[in-house]
Chains A and B, each alone.
Chain A
């Protein structure tokens, strides 16, 4: 049972480059989330999708876009990477009426 799978695990980008972080869940969850983790700041919500076909901004959406491709997949795109986007990115999902979220292993992104 894979749960939440993120790719890639590590990535180094140059300033201005673009990339897409992929996330897929196999738990038939309705809701999916993208968080970033920075030292001393916990995890902050970038974007989320409460159901297939909908997406909404979280606390720190600037510089990011998302796509809920289908019920399983939720991708995060950086159109023009900046050093401030150096972080660890986590995808998560939760089921209808279930308050806790399940997390992927994370993507460590460095922008130089």
Chain B
């Protein structure tokens, strides 16, 4: 079956630091990959996505590249802000699986001023 493994947290950073959250996956077919973000007290929002190998998703200064050879989709941001404090989830879905999402455990990121 499908599964997602992401870096455990919590992660605490200072403002303007570099952020990386590792994510690897196992899938039976050719999944689409996502990063969702959950701000305190809110639901999940799509942060970025990539639907095929070598695609790069980007949004709000965050980037992730779909690496089929290493089955990875690591999230990066070059200079974090306090407002980036949130829980980040890596996820995948497949068309042959009714687009059901499989999630990683989530990584809590706290950015200090």
Contacts and interface: CB of A to CB of B under 8 A. Distances in A.
Interface stretch (A11-19, A77-85, A95-103): A95-103
Contacts, number: 60
Interface of A: 4, 31, 33, 35, 40-45, 48, 50, 56, 58, 90, 92, 94, 97-106
Nearest to B94: A99
B81 interface: no
Contact of B32 (A99, A103, A106): A99
Q: Looking at chain B, what size class is its interface with the partner chain? A: 20 to 34
7 smallest beta-carbon distances between A and B, as pairs: A42-B103, A99-B32, A103-B44, A105-B43, A103-B43, A43-B103, A50-B98
B101 interface: yes
A42 B100 contact: no
